[in-house]
Structure 1
């Protein structure tokens, strides 16, 4: 029986990796086709409007090599990436506990709600001038603007996740003698993790919007500064390099965040 069972399981065991490999290859093929179609459309636009308006893929690649050789591109990526990660990370660290408090404790929600509802409708771009005046043109002003961008998004998503927890689960846990801390760790937090991840991803995307505006106004190094400087010099190919690099950097950051988040969510039986 044991030998037969082992023999029967062998084909199934072999099929699963083959099926997974086929799916991965198919996904890779679709991604590759999508990129090639995009590059083709880009080339057609460049041919239609000319290099003064739309830099072609070849011109953009040559400009990227030029900026990479003198270190401008690497320095810009490092500067912008560091500012985004610090500001976004602080926003998540503050937004999650505040969101948990807002969602769980009514008096805290009533006290903070006017400020959250007021400031979340004011875009970070509106505070760029004040941030420079108050904090200078150093790193602090950019980090604070990104923090401002992230913290409200994370807070709102976290509090929404807390308030979406079934009331019957909370009452059942309380009737069984669970403390507030046990309810938070055993029921509220596991149910809220998907909302926290969603808020973190949305905050990451908005952080990229903010960093460009902040660096255009008050930065010597960064992708936003690179785009603005390129405009002043009339180098449309450098502008395309800055824009595409922003997209690639955001794609990488989001992928890494999804991989890390999927491992956390897997513990709670949730797929991202």
Structure 2
């Protein structure tokens, strides 16, 4: 008598999730492309309605970008502005994160520093442009300090808010298990605060782009802000559009890189972007 054995074990379904992921990514790329096409179409309609003296068309802007790229103006401006933003923003993180951790954990530090933070964070960086130039000159230091000033308070506020939002039950549980202050900071407080730090870093990056334009208009020969201002003086609306669009693209790239680094390197802390 022959015995027939039926294999009823479920087969692995690895293809379907992979296929769904590919379709989801393709759908995202398609929606991005559709959004860009619609935006360019609206831009073209506005340019046709108002004329080149007010709104440069996409073709004119592309031609101007090629012109500025050919003589090196656009590339030098991108490098100069990007370097200033990254240095000032990076210094803001280096100072803001430790300061936020101290303010959030130690009450006396919070009481000592809070009046200054609440005072200076409401003064826009553009108000200090003249003083920065007088004190530090028209070199790189004045621009970097202004961007640092823009970034540091945002990072401090978000970091301290994250520290103070840590559940008291988690802190008591860690203390009851014998964790010291340093272990509580590294094992409980910091992992819970990382999402707030990343959010503060992204907001600070956006504000850095707001500051760089005003700083370079006043005290810079090279940079995207200087390019926009010089274009205005020469009546080149197409150059102005090139500078504005380049700022937006540069900010998009910086933010995207920051999100990728945060999601991969800080995934063990529970950051989901």
Q: Which TM-score band (shorter chain)? A: over 0.9
Q: Distance in 2 between matches of 1:104 and 1:81?
A: 34
* Residue number in structure 2 paired with 1:173: 174
2: CA distance, partners of 1:228 / 1:168: 55
Tell me the residue number matched to 1:233: 234
Contact 1:194–1:265 (CA<8 Å) still a contact in 2?
Answer: no
**In the alignment, is the contact (CA less than 8 A) between 2:100 and 2:160 conserved in 1?**
yes
Larger radius of gyration: 2
User: In the alignment, which residue of structure 1 is the partner of 2:11?
Assistant: 8
Structure 2 distance, partners of 1:4, 1:218, is: 75
CA distance in 2, matches of 1:16, 1:176: 41
Distance 2:16 2:166 in 1: 40
Q: Deviations for 1:6-49, whole angstroms, at most 9, x for unmatched residues?
A: x711xx11112211111111101100000000000000000000
TM-score (norm: length of structure 1)? 0.96
Corresponding residue number in structure 1 for 2:218: 217
Gaps of 5+ in 1: none
Q: Which residue of 2 aligns with 1:154?
A: 155
Could you say what the CA RMSD is over the residues aligned between the two structures, in angstroms?
1.2
Shift, 1:175, TM fit: 2.0
Q: By how many angstroms is 1:264 displaced?
A: 3.3
Match of 1:32 in 2: 33
CA offset at residue 4 of structure 1?
Answer: 6.8
SS of equivalent to 2:14: helix
4+ residue segments displaced more than 3 Å: none
* Equivalent pair of 2:194/2:271 in contact (CA under 8 Å): no
When structure 1 is superposed on structure 2, of 164-173 and 138-147 the one drifting more is 164-173
SS of 2:11's equivalent?
Answer: helix
CA distance in 2, matches of 1:109, 1:41: 49
User: Deviation string for 1:56-95 (max 9, x for gaps)?
Assistant: 0000000000000000000000000000000000000100
Q: Where in structure 2 are there 5+ consecutive unaligned residues?
A: none
Looking at structure 2, the residues matched to 182 and 117 of structure 1 have their Cα atoms a distance apart, in angstroms, of 30
**Alignment check: 8 A CA contact 2:195 2:270 kept:** no
Question: Take 1:204 and 1:57, find their aligned partners in 2: how far apart are those partners?
Answer: 27
Tell me, in whole angstroms, the C-alpha distance in 2 between the residues paired with 1:216 and 1:222. 9
1:269 shift after superposition: 3.1
Give the length in aligned residue pairs: 268
In 2, Cα distance between equivalents of 1:236 and 1:248: 18
Q: Would you say the 8 A contact 1:146–1:207 is kept in 2? A: yes
Greater shift, 260-269 or 83-92, is seen at 260-269
Work out whether residues 129 and 218 of structure 2, in 8 Å CA contact, stay in contact via their aligned partners in 1.
yes
1:110 aligns with 2:111: yes
Q: Counterpart of 1:267 in 2: which secondary structure?
A: helix
1:50 corresponds to 2:45: no
